């Protein structure tokens, strides 16, 4: 309408009288603390514990975790080139026109759980899934959460720790641990801006450290 007004097509802009109501305030964004992560790891069974590690420590999306094939597992990493989306296998989520596959590093304890889990799989072929259903197809994320993970997490007061919370926890604790922002974003498979603006949250301890550091620089020198 501004363009039409400036071009002389209309005499005045009627859109200036429009009122845009405030949007609904979003809920609190939650993250797991280190103590809560340890509590969850001690409660979950091996399969769910490995999935939890891949989400919290590896920063993986659940649809990527459930699409992992044995042939993509390396000595200390996993090639992420597929995801399960609405029951179908396609490429991982990412920006249009950008390569979405990536290599995700594995922590030492994740590798230990992985080594313990692998021998239990009936199908050891490269095309087999790391977390198969009874029919050797990818597990359903909703069934995994509702039947296996949620009841255990609820029993220790962590029923709110969804996969989204796990991924946000990875971003926030990575920053707190002073992991390079670009490295952490590449590990999770998204852009740096999304990593900082959407997923990373600063806790009170970090904010206190920030204001004290600023005060030391500005006032106490």
Rg (the chain; Cα; Å): 22
User: Helix axis angle, 46-56 relative to 34-43, nearest 10°?
Assistant: 160
CB burial string 86-119: b at 16+ within 10 A, e below? eeeeeebeeeeeeebebebebeeebeebbeebee
For 156-220, where are the alpha helices, taking DSSP H only? 163-176, 181-188, 192-194, 204-218
Residue 10 is assigned to a structural domain of this protein: no
Residue 102 is assigned to a structural domain of this protein: yes
Quote the CA–CA distance of 77 and 90 in Å, as a whole number. Answer: 20
**Structural domain for 59, as ranges:** 34-210
* DSSP annotation of 77: E
Residue 2 is assigned to a structural domain of this protein: no
pLDDT at residue number 183: 80
CATH number at residue 38: 1.10.443.10
User: Helix axis angle, 46-56 relative to 163-176, nearest 10°?
Assistant: 50
The answer to whether 199 touches 173, Cβ cutoff 8 Å, is no
pTM metric for this prediction: 0.75
Residue 5 is assigned to a structural domain of this protein: no
Residue 131 is assigned to a structural domain of this protein: yes
Residue 21 is assigned to a structural domain of this protein: no
* DSSP annotation of 191: -
The per-residue pLDDT for range 176-218, each reduced to its tens digit, is 888 777 787 788 876 655 545 545 555 566 556 655 665 566 5
The per-residue pLDDT for range 37-64, each reduced to its tens digit, is 999 999 999 999 999 999 998 889 999 9
Quote the CA–CA distance of 7 and 174 in Å, as a whole number. Answer: 51
Residue 8 is assigned to a structural domain of this protein: no
pLDDT at residue number 198: 47
Number of domains in the chain: 1
Residue 216 is assigned to a structural domain of this protein: no
């Amino acid at each position: 309408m501004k363009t039409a007004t400036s071009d002389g097509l209309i005499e005045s802009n009627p859109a200036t009288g429009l009122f845009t109501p405030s949007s609904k305030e979003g809920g609190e964004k939650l993250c797991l603390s280190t103590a809560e992560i340890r509590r969850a790891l001690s409660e979950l069974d091996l399969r769910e514990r490995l999935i939890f590690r891949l989400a919290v420590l590896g920063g993986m999306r659940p649809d990527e975790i459930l699409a992992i094939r044995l042939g993509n597992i390396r000595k200390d990493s996993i090639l992420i080139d597929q995801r399960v989306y609405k029951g179908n296998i396609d490429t991982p989520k990412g920006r249009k026109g950008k390569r979405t596959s990536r290599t995700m590093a594995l922590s030492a304890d994740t590798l230990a759980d992985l080594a313990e889990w692998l021998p239990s799989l009936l199908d050891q072929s490269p095309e087999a899934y790391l977390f198969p259903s009874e029919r050797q197809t990818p597990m359903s994320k909703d069934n995994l959460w509702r039947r296996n993970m949620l009841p255990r997490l609820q029993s220790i007061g962590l029923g709110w720790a969804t996969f989204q919370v796990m991924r946000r926890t990875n971003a926030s604790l990575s920053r707190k641990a002073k992991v390079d922002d670009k490295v952490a974003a590449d590990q999770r498979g998204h852009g740096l801006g999304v990593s900082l603006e959407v997923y990373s949250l600063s806790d009170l301890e970090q904010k206190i450290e920030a204001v004290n550091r600023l005060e030391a620089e500005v006032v106490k020198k």
